Amino acid sequence: MNGPLVQILGPTGSGKSRVALAVARAVGGEVISADSVQVYRGFDIGSDKLAPADRGGVPHHLIDIVPDCAQFNASRFLELAHESARGIWSRGGVPVVCGGTGLYLSVMIRGIFPEAKDPQGREELRREAARRGWEALRADLERIDPAYAAKIAVNDRLRLLRALEIHRNCGLAPSEAFRLSRSPFAGCRFVRVGLQVQRPELYRAIDARVERMLARGLVEEVRSLLASRPPGCPPFRALGYKEIVSHLRGEIGLEEARALIQRHSRQFAKRQLTWFRREPDIHWLPAGDVAAGVAHVRQCLSSAP
C-alpha cells in the first residue's frame, strides 16, 4: 500500500538538500536522493553530496549505492526508490525525495515508458520488413524478448511492428516496457514543492558553489577517481567532472575549467527550470524560506485523505 510522498525539487544551487532535511525532520521522514551522480560511490564533491555528518541523523537513501562504473538509469532508480519508500512507510515515516534529475522525479508519477507512437519509425520498420522479410523481424524480436514473441501470432504483423518499435524507441524489451508503463507509485499522494530563486541570485549561488567545490578539493577528487576507475565511467561525463577531467588531461587550464563549470551549471539550471515549468502540480515557494516549505508540506499531509 502506497502512502504519501514529498518531492523537493528545483534547479542546481537552489538549496534542495537543506529544505529536504528540514522537511524530513518536521514530518518524521527519510530522504531519498533523486540525483543521477550521487548514486556513485566516491563522486562526492562534484555532486555536492551531503556528508553523513551533515544529515542530522535523518536516514538518506540511494546515495553511494553504485560502487563501480555500472550504468544507472531511470528504470533502476524507479525500482530502488519504490523499494526505499516501502521501507520508510513500513516504519511509519514519510519519504522525502530530493533532487534535480527531472526524469527521475517524473517517472515516479508517470512510469518510465511513454505510450508514444512514431509513424516514421513504423514506416522504417515496414521498409525493413520488405527488404529483409517478416521472418527476419520476428527473429529479431525472439532474440530481444522471447517471452513476448511467443505471445504474438505468426501473422500478427501489427503487434510485431509495435513490439520492435517499442524496443527501438526506449531500448527496453517490450515485456519490461509494459511492466514499467505504470509507476509502482501509482495511487501515491504526491506533495511536490519547487524551490524558486530569482535568476541573478541563482547564478550567483551557482558560481559560489563551484568555488566551494574547487576549494574543497574537486581536482584532487577527480585525480584520485581517475586512478581507480576507467575514463569511460558514466559519472566522469557529468557536470563538474567532465571539465576537471579535461583539465587533468592537459586540454584546458584550471581557470578555464572553473569558468566552464560555472557556465555549464547555469545552462543546466535553465534546462531544469524549463523541464519543471511543464509540470502543472508543483507548488513553488521561495528557496530561502525553509519554514514556508515545511509549513506547506505539513498542511498538505494533514489535509490529504
What pLDDT digit, counting tens, does each position of 178-227 carry?
776 778 998 899 999 999 999 999 999 999 999 999 999 999 999 999 99
Q: How many angstroms separate the CA atoms of 225 and 69, rounded?
A: 11
- Over 90: is that where the pLDDT of 158 sits? no
Q: How confident is the model at residue 246 (pLDDT cuts 50, 70, 90)?
A: very high
Q: Return the axis-axis angle of helices 254-277 and 199-216, rounded to nearest 10°.
A: 140
Q: First and final CA of the chain: distance in angstroms?
A: 14
- Residue 187 has what pLDDT? 87
Q: How confident is the model at residue 90 (pLDDT cuts 50, 70, 90)?
A: very high
**Cell matching residue 145:** 524478448
Region of poorest pLDDT, from 16-20, 87-91, 144-148, 165-169 = 165-169
Between 303 and 1, where is the model more confident? 303
**Cell matching residue 168:** 527501438
Instruction: Enumerate the domain spans of the chain.
Output: 4-112+183-303, 119-180
Instruction: Encode pLDDT of 273-301 as tens digits.
Output: 998 988 889 999 999 999 999 999 999 99
Q: How many angstroms separate the CA atoms of 151 and 132, rounded?
A: 22
Q: How confident is the model at residue 120 (pLDDT cuts 50, 70, 90)?
A: confident
Strand pairing category for 29-33 and 60-61: parallel
Give, in order, the Cα–Cα distances in Å from 171 to each of 145, 178, 181, 228: 12, 13, 14, 30
What is the CATH code for 4-112+183-303? Answer: 3.40.50.300
- Over 70: is that where the pLDDT of 118 sits? no
What is the CATH code for 119-180? Answer: 1.10.20.140
